[in-house]
């Protein structure tokens, strides 16, 4: 059975547009994963220590993988593109986070779906609302576009 999953994308090191293209290529080359859409990339200031601005967006994928399997694949893609996990919220060549997986609510030691910060961050909500404004956050029951509007107030 295929699931539609929304993945947050971020990059602030190197050729950011190329990092995005490579991430899309690698996602499409993954067994059980197919990119079905993406938002525009938008520049945002970083969270955490001083560093270059990020390009952020959201990628929609269809997948036959289970959540843990997709997480392993996203981590593999990040590593293949040169991501090093050195500083929490530090600069990165690529960051791929599972944001939403239908109405799934999952809390494990290694994975939380929906992503715990998704509904609090403009760099997630703006591209997500562009792509799927009527997506419902299963924790709050609100549309992404409604959450974004309340955050902008």
pLDDT tens column, 28-77? 999 999 999 999 999 999 987 888 999 999 999 999 999 999 999 999 99
- 34 inside domain: yes
Q: Copy the structure tokens of residue 141.
A: 């029951």
Tell me the CATH number at 105: 3.30.70.560
H/E element holding 98?
Answer: strand 95-101
Cα–Cα dist 137/102, whole Å: 9
- 89 inside domain: yes
- 96 inside domain: yes
Residues with a catalytic annotation lie at: 83, 92, 95, 97
Model pLDDT, residue 6: 98
Q: What is the pLDDT of residues 106-136, one digit of tens each?
A: 999 999 999 999 999 999 999 999 999 999 9
Q: What is the pTM of this model?
A: 0.94
- 15 inside domain: yes
H/E element holding 152?
Answer: helix 144-152
- 139 inside domain: no
Q: Are the CB atoms for 7 and 74 separated by under 8 Å?
A: yes
The greatest distance separating any two alpha carbons of the chain, rounded to the nearest whole angstrom, comes to 43
Domain that holds residue 42: 3-116
Number of structural domains, the chain? 1
What is the 8-class DSSP label of residue 102?
T
């Amino acid at each position: 059975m295929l699931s539609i999953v929304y993945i947050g994308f971020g990059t602030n090191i190197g050729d950011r547009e190329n990092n995005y293209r490579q991430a899309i290529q690698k996602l499409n080359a993954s067994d059980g994963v197919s990119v079905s859409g993406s938002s525009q990339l938008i520049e945002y200031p970083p969270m955490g220590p001083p560093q270059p601005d990020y390009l952020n967006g959201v990628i929609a994928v269809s997948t036959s993988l289970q959540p843990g399997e997709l997480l392993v694949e996203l981590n593999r893609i990040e590593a293949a593109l040169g991501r090093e996990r050195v500083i929490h919220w530090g600069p990165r060549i690529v960051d791929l986070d599972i944001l939403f997986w239908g109405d799934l609510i999952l809390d494990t030691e290694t994975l939380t779906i929906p992503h715990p910060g998704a509904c609090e961050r403009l760099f997630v909500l703006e591209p997500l609302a562009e792509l799927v404004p009527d997506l419902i956050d299963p924790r709050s029951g609100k549309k992404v576009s409604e959450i974004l509007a309340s955050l902008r107030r």
